[in-house]
Structure 1
Amino acid sequence: MRIEVVQKERKPFVLFPLLAGLLLFFALSFSSPFTAWATVAAYIDVQGNLHYMRGKSSRTDKKIAIERPVPRSSRDLSYQTINAFIQAAATEHGVDPYLIKAIIKAESNFDPAAVSPKGAQGLMQLMPATARDLQVDDPFDPQENITGGTKYLRSLLDNYDGDVVLSLAAYNAGPGKVKGRIPNIIETRIYIAKVLDNYQSYRNCR
């Protein structure tokens, strides 16, 4: 008597596609420059190349925001170009260009696209309300930012009778917190020391 063994047709392992999908999801989540739930912003640079950047985290679906191209670091602008903007603003508003440069170094480290946790923007870290008051349409435009920031600095120097230290304190903490003396704010005191150190270094290298 012969027993025939009938092999049943093997069904595909149904969990494999699921596991593969999960692995792909996690791989993309950790390797992609965008995290899950991230808002994606896109812009086209002057060469016509499309770029994406990660926005603020959110658990709601948002439309892709198309933003104008902005320099991502000082490497996108030559030293001569930024220095020319500084010199022009310094001449227009009667401010020492080395002081402007010292503030930019302390505020953004020459990153035109810098944004602080409090929302200050660009090279001289202008708050949106301040930028509007100074008629700066685009805080991320280096020339506009430097011109507006220098104009603001000039107004502070005038308000504090040319006192650089008090003007720097007001630039950092806001004029409302500077009443004839440096406010007892650690961040502001550190900021003043940093700017003055930068200022001295630039003057020594001229």
Structure 2
Amino acid sequence: MDLSGVRHIQARIADIQERFGIPGGVPGLDFDNVLNKAMHKGEKPGQAAQKEEAAAAAAVEAAGAGTGAEKQQEARAPREVKLTGYAPHTKGGGILLSDASLSQMVKAASEKYQVDPKLVSAVAEVESGGNQGAESPAGAIGVMQLMPDTAASLGVNPYDKQQNIEGGARYLRQMLDSFGGDVKKAVAAYNAGPNAVKKYDGVPPYPETQNYVDKVLDLYR
């Protein structure tokens, strides 16, 4: 039986293990036992060594792939977008307003009307995702989805992004004042109107409004 080829393979395995710090010992220290086990199982020594080499190579590949795999997983994971001057949100997918100028408009409008910027941000995300070009089938316009009549009563042009956001923040301020600072009722009123909230003394039993309130509050909290 010519073992020279087997010994050569065994030496390569030992070198791989030693260079990459793979646990389990160096085959050269225990190769006779490997040969004996292989013969007892009816395997040729070369087959046993090849299996051991394959196992060592797999271990090397796994050890070397760790960092790359972690980077790929990190790249696939959703990244949280943080608005300047805003507390980050971790629930509900996070704030989507990634445009720096838009975030500044939200901040300015929030300060002007003394509304928590996190609340304005949450409403803006749920309403339009921060998209000024969004328009609902009912005719709501822009970032915070102002109806034309509401925008007119607030004295803003809903097609102007900054004015639209200011109008939304001002309307939120009005709803907060109407309901004694109750954020849940104010958010419900933003969606369904204050009369509906007063009628039911809380969130109206409309699936759309209930879902809307849940989404906004998940982002806000």
TM-score range, shorter chain: 0.5 to 0.7
Deviation at 1:114, TM superposition (A): 0.5
Aligned to 1:183: 204
1:147 counterpart SS class: helix
* Pick aligned residue for 1:141 from 140, 160, 163: 160
Q: What residue in structure 2 maps to residue 43 of structure 1?
A: none
Residue correspondence of structure 1 range 45-64 to structure 2 within 5 A: none
After superposition, the CA RMSD in angstroms is: 1.3
**Equivalent position to 1:130, from 150, 156, 166:** 150
Deviations 1:71-114 (A, max 9, x none): xxxxxx97210111111111111100011010010000111011
- Give the one of 171, 174, 184 matched to 1:155: 174
Task: Tell me the residue number matched to 2:124.
Answer: 104
Q: Distance in 1 between matches of 2:187 and 2:98?
A: 27
Gaps of 5+ in 2: 1-96
Q: Which has the larger radius of gyration?
A: 2
In structure 2, distance between residues paired with 1:187 and 1:97: 24
- In the TM superposition, structure 1's runs of 4+ consecutive aligned residues that sit over 4 Å from their partners are none
| Corresponding letter in the other structure for 1:106 | V
Equivalent residue of 1:123, what SS?
coil
Q: Distance in 2 between matches of 1:78 and 1:163?
A: 28
Q: Which amino acid aligns with 1:89?
A: A
Answering whether residue 172 of structure 2 is matched by residue 167 of structure 1, we say: no
Tell me the amino acid that sits aligned with residue 157 of structure 1. L
Q: SS of the counterpart of 1:178?
A: helix
Aligned-partner Cα distance in 2 for 1:86–1:111: 13
Is 1:108–1:114's contact at 8 Å kept on the other side of the alignment? yes
**2:139 counterpart residue number:** 119
Distance 2:177 2:98 in 1: 32
Distance 2:134 2:110 in 1: 22
- The 8 Å contact of residues 156 and 171 in structure 1, kept in 2 or not, is answered as yes
Q: 1:196 corresponds to which letter in structure 2?
A: L
Establish whether residue 87 from structure 1 lines up as the match of residue 144 from structure 2.
Answer: no
Which of residues 175, 189, 195 in structure 1 aligns to 2:216?
195
* More strand, by proportion: 1
Amino acid at match of 1:111: N
Q: Deviations over 1:116-150 (max 9, x none)?
A: 1111000000001000001112x121100000110
Q: Higher helix fraction: Structure 1 or Structure 2?
A: 2
Stretches of structure 1 that go unaligned for 5 or more consecutive residues are 1-76, 201-206
Identity %: 48
**Counterpart AA for 1:154:** R
Equivalent residue letter for 2:119: L
